[in-house]
């Protein structure tokens, strides 16, 4: 869907600690980008369609109002420059948040809490947002944020969604005045850079050299135009061996944000979210932004 220049950032909250971590990240992002923040609580109480609304001791609307208003108060306290609004909706969580993404600049959620399954690192709602949101989706891991590194990492493989991710990564690095570390993985040349099923033969082998050369070519082509549009962003280019998901997870330990496309060059064409993105979302040390290629 087309978005206007004043499109806002949406933060999904449910009162849990993971969602508050995501809210803090979204509020800072809103300040950095000079955008309005919408705090959204979608409440899907089990069996609420069959249980009387007058159940003693619990009121759905009052609970929802408290969640969003406390969240907005938190934003105003921590990021007073950010204009924030509250919205609570009783309905199925995933579809409600996907609808909120239609005209948004960005939608942000925690990696746990929204699914209600505390043992699952990335719940079904997080997967839905990453795979189906109409705007880029950021999933914030449920861990204490470390000191800022001043580095944004982007995974590059030349695919349409990775090119869109590269575009967005430059914007993010520029807003943070951060270094942009562009990473390509030298996997099996026959499968494409981000579709490696196994690592090529050892250093110096023809297979390895071909894979590295192909990765460098895609990396250079992906960055060329963006460098001209964002001359103030310092870029590090890196071609690394290994499996793409493992490489990006390692990179996330020393980054403030990792930006990836929703689906790389390999895998099944019909997949909305590739295996690399799914694995990274579940194991990243820092927030992950998933970007889809523009719809033709």
Each residue's pLDDT tens digit in the chain (296 positions)?
Answer: 445 578 999 999 988 898 999 999 999 999 999 999 999 998 776 544 444 555 555 677 788 889 999 999 999 999 999 999 999 988 888 899 999 999 999 999 998 644 443 333 456 788 889 999 999 999 999 888 888 999 999 999 888 999 999 999 999 999 999 999 999 998 654 334 444 434 455 556 777 788 888 888 889 988 988 999 999 999 999 999 888 999 999 999 999 999 999 865 444 333 456 788 888 998 999 999 999 988 75
How far apart (Å, rounded) are the C-alpha atoms in residues 184 and 154? 9
Query: Is residue 275 domain-shared with residue 235, that is, in the same domain?
Result: yes
Q: What is the CATH number of the domain that holds 214?
A: 3.40.50.620
- Output the pLDDT for position 38: 98
Listed residues 79, 108, 140: the one ending a domain: 140
pLDDT of residue 164: 93
* Residue-level pLDDT at 92: 85
Q: What is the pLDDT of residue 149?
A: 95
Structure tokens at 86: 């509250």
94 and 159 assigned to the same domain? no
pTM for this predicted structure: 0.85
| 163 and 253 together in one domain | yes
Q: How far apart are CA 149 and CA 131, in angstroms?
A: 28
* Cα end-to-end distance, the chain, whole Å: 11
Of residues 142, 116, 100, the one with CA closest to residue 10? 100
Tell me: do 264 and 161 sit in the same domain. Answer: yes
Pair (242, 158) in one structural domain: yes
Please name which of 257, 263, 249, 253 lies closest in space to residue 157, comparing C-alpha atoms. Answer: 263
Contact between residue 8 and residue 84 where contact means Cβ atoms under 8 Å apart: no
Task: Out of 140, 169, 200, pick the residue that ends a domain.
Answer: 140
pLDDT at 113: 46
**CA-CA distance, 72 to 101, in Å (whole number)?**
19
- Answer yes or no: do 122 and 161 share one domain: no
- Identify the domain boundary among 140, 160, 195: 140
Predicted pLDDT of residue 4: 58
Same domain? For 95 and 158 the reply is: no
Which structural domain range is residue 51 located in? 9-140
Regarding beta strands 84-90 and 9-12, do their DSSP bridges make them parallel or antiparallel, or are they unpaired? Answer: unpaired
126, 21: one domain: yes
């Amino acid at each position: 869907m087309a978005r206007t220049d004043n499109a806002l950032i949406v933060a999904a909250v449910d009162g849990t600690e993971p969602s508050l971590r995501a809210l803090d990240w979204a509020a800072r992002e809103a300040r950095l980008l000079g955008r309005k923040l919408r705090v959204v609580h979608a409440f899907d109480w089990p069996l609420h369609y069959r249980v009387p609304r007058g159940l003693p001791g619990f009121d759905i609307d009052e609970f929802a109002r408290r969640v969003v208003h406390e969240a907005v108060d938190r934003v105003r306290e921590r990021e007073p420059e950010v204009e924030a609004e509250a919205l609570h909706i009783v309905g199925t969580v995933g579809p409600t948040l996907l609808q909120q993404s239609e005209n948004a600049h960005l939608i942000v959620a925690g990696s746990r809490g929204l699914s209600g399954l505390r043992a699952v690192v990335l719940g079904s709602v997080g997967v839905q947002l990453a795979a189906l949101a109409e705007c880029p989706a950021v999933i914030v891991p449920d861990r204490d944020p470390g000191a800022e590194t001043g580095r944004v990492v982007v995974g590059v493989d030349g695919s349409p969604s990775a090119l869109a991710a590269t575009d967005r990564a430059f914007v993010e690095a520029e807003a943070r005045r951060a270094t942009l570390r562009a990473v390509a993985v030298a996997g099996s040349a026959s499968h494409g850079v981000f579709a490696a099923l196994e690592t090529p033969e050892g250093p110096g082998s023809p297979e390895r050299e071909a894979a590295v050369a192909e990765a460098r070519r895609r990396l250079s082509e992906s960055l060329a135009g963006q460098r001209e549009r964002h001359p103030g962003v310092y870029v590090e280019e890196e071609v690394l061996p290994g499996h793409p998901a493992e490489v990006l997870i390692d990179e996330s330990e020393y980054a403030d944000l990792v930006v990836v496309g929703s689906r790389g060059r390999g895998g099944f064409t019909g997949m909305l979210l590739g295996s690399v993105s799914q694995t990274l979302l579940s194991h990243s040390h820092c927030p992950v932004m998933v970007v889809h290629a523009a719809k033709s």
